[in-house]
């Protein structure tokens, strides 16, 4: 059962953390993409003609507003679900309930960019005032979003790093901040001294490499007692684990054997954390070799509880879903979204991590809005996070 859970976790993280290089880097902002193990269709996307004729404006009241959420994958009934996207949707539904608008989720039955784009196109001109997509492939969604924009539909994304035709790409935090937080944690557990190693899923994974860039740069400038065992030449200063725990295990075992002074592993791939837990336990290096990096309770919580691994970093999918709904709704109301804007509940309380958001643009000129919603699990709070995810409908132990 543990092996089954582990592999399910790997698939979830692959969906979340961007293993392909199809997207270009955003300007100091946010996370993620899709597993090569998931089939991608070569079918052409049908682009329908959308009328641009103006219609009478509806009164701007909540009950007239409706969002369509399009995740990367919604498996057919009987084949399970993708808990991450279910939890994002739960946050969106809560925001809709709080403010009185409507939300609907329709995802592709397999992680296919053509099918995902067709869902967007098929729903232009229906009841949806805004469409939110977690893109499998930016280019094809950008084309669909261009059609939607011409039809007067607001377009939003999460992980849409190179989208041009987007009202806002909504991110939990900047990639730079995420990488810095991980390296700061590594310095804490090692007292800022020793040798470290950095992983990425693939060397062409945009998000993982932006995290790694931030980690290494922050160490060079601020934690001089630490040094990278792979040196500092861009590209060879990190290793790839192919988003595969077996490969990560093999590579970590080799690095540990060849570097007796290695005392810190930084994992930007979820597979590295899972492998590090096994290797450190097997080699009885608990308390001597530390791990910080990507990891949810479901993937590394057991090792965190045992003190084998130190800290796993992530962002809360429920809060992200709430923020997406709020920003889309306020934009529809013509509320100006400016630097420092907050995500606020109807009672006036602010969503933690989204109290003061940042604005930026990506490499294509698309608008980005990001919070500072970095979360982590450690031995002191792991039980709280187990409880929190269970309350979201995603039990993790």
Report domain extents, the chain.
Answer: 8-35+60-173+317-391, 175-314
Architecture of domain 8-35+60-173+317-391: 3-Layer(aba) Sandwich (3.40)
User: Rounded distance, CA 137 to CA 18, Å?
Assistant: 11
User: Rounded distance, CA 68 to CA 390, Å?
Assistant: 25
Q: Which pLDDT value is given to residue 206?
A: 82
Fold: same for 8-35+60-173+317-391 and 175-314:
yes
Question: Containing H/E element for 226?
Answer: strand 226-228
Token pair belonging to 9: 């976790």
Apex 77 CA angle, 71 and 83, nearest 5? 45
User: Rounded distance, CA 34 to CA 38, Å?
Assistant: 8
Token pair belonging to 334: 């013509």
Blockwise average pLDDT, block size 10, the chain, 397 residues: 47 49 36 31 43 52 97 87 96 98 97 97 96 96 98 96 95 96 98 98 91 98 98 96 97 97 97 98 98 97 98 98 98 95 98 97 94 98 98 96
Domain covering 175-314 in this structure, CATH number: 3.40.50.2300
DSSP 353: T
Token pair belonging to 164: 């041009």
Rounded alpha-carbon distances, angstroms, from residue 10 to 242, 271, 375: 11, 6, 19
The residue ranges of DSSP E strands in 45-146, in sequence order, are: 66-70, 102-105, 130-133
Token pair belonging to 125: 């001109």
Q: Are 360 and 370 in contact (CB under 8 A)?
A: yes
Coil, helix or strand at residue 145: helix
Residue matched to tokens 């539904």: 93
**Burial (0-12, 13-18, 19+ Cβ within 10 Å), 104:** middle
DSSP 255-304: HHHH-TTEEEEEESSHHHHHHHHHHHHHTT-TTTSEEEEE--HHHHHHHH
For residue 200, list its beta bridge partners: 240
Q: If we measure between CA atoms, which residue out of 397, 378, 362 comes closest to residue 29? A: 362
Coil, helix or strand at residue 363: coil
């Amino acid at each position: 059962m543990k092996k089954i859970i582990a592999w399910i976790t790997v698939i979830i993280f692959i969906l979340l953390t961007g293993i392909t290089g199809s997207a270009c880097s955003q300007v100091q902002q946010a996370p993620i993409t899709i597993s090569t193990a998931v089939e991608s269709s070569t079918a052409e996307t049908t682009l329908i003609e959308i009328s641009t004729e103006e219609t009478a404006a509806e009164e701007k009241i909540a009950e007239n507003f409706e969002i369509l959420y399009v995740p990367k994958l919604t498996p057919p009934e009987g084949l399970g679900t993708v808990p991450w996207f279910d939890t994002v949707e739960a946050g969106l539904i809560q925001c809709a309930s709080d403010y009185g608008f409507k939300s609907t989720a329709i995802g592709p039955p397999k992680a296919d960019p053509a099918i995902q784009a067709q869902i967007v196109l098929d729903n232009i001109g229906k009841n949806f005032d805004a469409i939110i997509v977690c893109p499998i492939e930016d280019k094809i969604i950008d084309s669909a979003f261009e059609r939607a924009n011409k039809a007067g539909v607001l377009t939003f994304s999460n992980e849409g790093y190179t989208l041009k035709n987007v009202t806002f790409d909504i991110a939990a935090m900047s990639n730079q901040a995420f990488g810095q937080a991980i390296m700061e944690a590594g310095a804490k557990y090692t007292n800022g001294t020793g040798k470290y190693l950095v992983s990425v899923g693939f060397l062409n994974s945009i998000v993982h490499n932006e995290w790694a860039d931030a980690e290494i740069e922050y160490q060079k400038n601020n934690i001089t007692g630490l040094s990278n065992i792979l040196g500092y030449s861009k590209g060879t200063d990190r290793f790839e684990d192919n988003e595969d725990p077996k490969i990560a295990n093999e590579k970590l075992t080799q690095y540990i054997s060849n570097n007796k002074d290695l005392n810190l592993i930084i994992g930007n791939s979820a597979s590295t954390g899972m492998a590090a837990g096994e290797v450190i336990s097997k080699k009885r290096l608990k308390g001597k070799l530390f791990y910080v990096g990507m990891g949810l309770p479901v993937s590394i919580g057991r090792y965190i509880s045992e003190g084998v691994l130190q800290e796993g970093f992530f962002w809360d999918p429920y809060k992200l879903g709430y923020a997406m709904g709020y920003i889309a709704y306020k934009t529809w109301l013509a509320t100006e979204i400016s630097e420092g804007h907050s995500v606020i509940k109807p009672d006036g309380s602010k969503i933690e991590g989204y109290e003061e958001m940042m604005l930026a643009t990506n490499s294509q000129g698309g608008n980005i809005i990001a919070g500072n919603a970095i979360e982590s699990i450690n031995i002191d709070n792991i039980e709280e996070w187990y409880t929190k995810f269970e309350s979201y409908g995603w039990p993790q132990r």
